[in-house]
Amino acid sequence: MLENLQLWYQHGWIRAIDLSFAQQLAKQLEDDQEAVVLLAAFVSYQLGRGHPCLDLAQLYAEPEQTLGLPPEHASVESLQACELPQQLLCNVAGAESLESAVQVLLESPAVNNDNSPLVLQGQRLYLRRYFRYEQQIKTDLAARMKALQPVNLGQLKHVLDELFGTQQTISWQRTACAMAMRSLFTIVTGGPGTGKTYTVVRLLATLQKLRGQPEPLRIRLAAPTGKAAARMSESIGNELLTLTSIDDVKADIPTEAVTLHRLLGTLPNSRSFRHHKDNPLHTDVVIIDEASMVDIEMMAAVVNALPPRARLILLGDKDQLASVEAGAILGQLCEQAEHGHYTPELTEWLNATTNVALPTDKTDASGAEWPYLQHTTMFHESRRFDPNKGIGKLADEVNRQQHVWLEQWLQDSDAMAAAHVEFDNIRMRAVPRPNHQSVQQLVEQGYAPLLKLIETRPESRNAEEIDVWAAKILKQLEQFQILTAVREGEWGMHQFNQRISYWLFGDQAAEHGWFEGRPVMVTHNDYSLDLRNGDIGIVLRREPNEPLRVAFPTTDGTIRWLLPSRLTQVDTAFAMTIHKSQGSEFSHTVMVLPEHDVPILTKELLYTGITRAKQQFTMVCAHPQLVLKAVRRRIQRSGGLANG
């Protein structure tokens, strides 16, 4: 068994840490515990793929599909040398069937004992640390959901009438504000443009107006990345400018969002944070935007640092990609949110806060079986996209895993766009290779305004004028963006960045790592420079003969100028992965798919890429039929948050 795992590692099927964990565990167990060692290796491997646990039922029903093995890059040599997961399970004593595996795990000293490395719960096998994370989240959220708050429904209805006016149809934004008053845990989910920012400002105003104490509530705003935090700050600030009915509490509504790492207080060379159960945050409310990007370890740290009486409010799109690290917190908590599943008691309570009753199909007599949904509001209508055409319709069809309309578009994008207005802002470019002339033309046209703006450096040495110029350039970066599904290979992010750098800047891009006009993305948090993973800057010269510097925007609207030598962990950002684009929006988004089908191509990946576009979306790929395969494939991350 260990020899087989060694071969898997040598051929790149599993990671070094997966093999090492199995080897160390084998030294501590008897020879008849081979099945435990094998399953432990699988748990570690699944963790690297984003799964907090190994679902044994799935493993035994579909071993290859569950583990994603053999990998897409597997060579003929590796296929001949390595046993497939199904074969390995059959050949290891105690691992031949689901029943035998569960029995041998239950009898093993490595499972379910104090401080044992593995925990078996039902048919899910965990590393102990990740089991603790999950239990910590479940226990904390259960307590907050049970802590129903006293609410004067008459006062609440009056405040909501002030904020939303009298309405003739159901307002899910208003429902979300009412829901947030009811308990210490609330989820607001919906796609781009459905009104989450519009709602959160009114939600904060509702909380402050009905706070029941003379002092303002202490509210903290946070997001997983620096970019998402900056967008949250900007959006809330802009929304406050348009809202005149909350002048009495406007000063009590914060506009500055920080990263979760900064909120909790990172400690050098440690996974721990300054704020925890014994040193909780000084806050009454914490609101986390882009919650789909939060992994299980970070969410456990958040709830551990929250005071017992503080409100936790999660905002995000449940249909987006899950976090890069292990877990799919928002997706699991919001599963089936589109159907409501509200208990009759909750429906009656919500109806008392408005003049428009909730749709009857959102009430479920068995709603108690969906505890998280009793604290969840989902927005359905996008104010940004028309659901009947273009980007809106494409995103909706992909999200629902439908493909009738999609197939028509894939067959002849240009003809469909010319004949039907419903295809007006989406295009497909099927090209045989990523450096095709049409792709180069698309890139050069997209980045032409950026290059022109860089050439308009003010002649004056006035620092304010230079900063205004740099700010315009950084804003222009949001107008056009290449997104790739993968990092490596001809169709991947790294090679596209090299290609685009050469197309736009020629030999100077190849000869010099740093050149004027190079956009860069920070890839790791750098607290000494106050930069976060995902922050975007651009290389410029403030004066013609001055050394190159990198301009970064700040939350207060100013520009920070840093020498390139101080930035050790950055990538060129003409192209970025779809994963890295979460929390961003671009006027024209170009999504590039790889030449061959790979497991990462899922409906969630496509949906996330499509919804980064605000005005125009272009898909570039070698084989359009890959899109249909991706639409049929879903991310199914294992975990027990939503059940026992």
Distance CA 559, CA 464 (A): 9
Question: For 221, left (φ over 0), alpha (ψ -120 to 50), or beta?
Answer: beta
Distance of CA 628 to the CA centre of its chain: 23
Distance CA 575, CA 502 (A): 13
Q: Which residue has the tokens 């020498």?
A: 563
For 269-317, the DSSP string reads T-S-BS-BTTB--S-SEEEESSGGG--HHHHHHHHHHS-TT-EEEEEE-
For 4-26, the DSSP string reads HHHHHHHTTSS-HHHHHHHHHHH
Distance CA 383, CA 377 (A): 17
Are 315 and 276 a contacting pair, CB within 8 Å? no
Tokens encoding 590: 């170009």
To the question of whether residue 197 is assigned a binding role by annotation, the answer is yes
Q: Are strands 536-540 and 559-562 parallel, antiparallel or unpaired?
A: unpaired
Distance CA 68, CA 360 (A): 42
Distance CA 339, CA 333 (A): 14
Are 547 and 558 a contacting pair, CB within 8 Å? no
- Which of these, 637, 5, 17, lies nearest to 327 by C-alpha position? 637
Strands (E) in 304-387, as ranges, are 311-316, 376-379
Distance of CA 278 to the CA centre of its chain: 29
Tokens encoding 254: 């914060």
The strand pairing partners of 520, in sequence order, are 537, 572
To the question of whether residue 192 is assigned a binding role by annotation, the answer is yes
Distance CA 375, CA 333 (A): 10
Tokens encoding 605: 């990946």
Distance CA 471, CA 463 (A): 12
Cis peptide before 70 (omega within 30 of 0): yes
Q: Is 282 exposed, middle or buried (0-12, 13-18, 19+ CB in 10 A)?
A: exposed
To the question of whether residue 193 is assigned a binding role by annotation, the answer is yes
The CA dihedral of 537, 539, 544, 547, to the nearest 10 degrees, is 110
Q: For residue 249, which amino acid is it?
A: V
- Which of these, 572, 576, 464, lies nearest to 513 by C-alpha position? 572
Distance CA 108, CA 466 (A): 67
Q: Which residue has the tokens 């620092």?
A: 463
Distance CA 490, CA 71 (A): 18
Tokens encoding 339: 């159907």
Question: 572: Cβ–Cβ under 8 A, 6 or more apart, which residues?
Answer: 497, 498, 501, 518, 519, 520, 521
Distance CA 66, CA 636 (A): 9
Q: Helix (H, G, I), strand (E, B), or coil: what is residue 511?
A: helix
To the question of whether residue 191 is assigned a binding role by annotation, the answer is yes
List the binding residues.
Answer: 190-197
List the binding residues for ATP.
Answer: 190-197
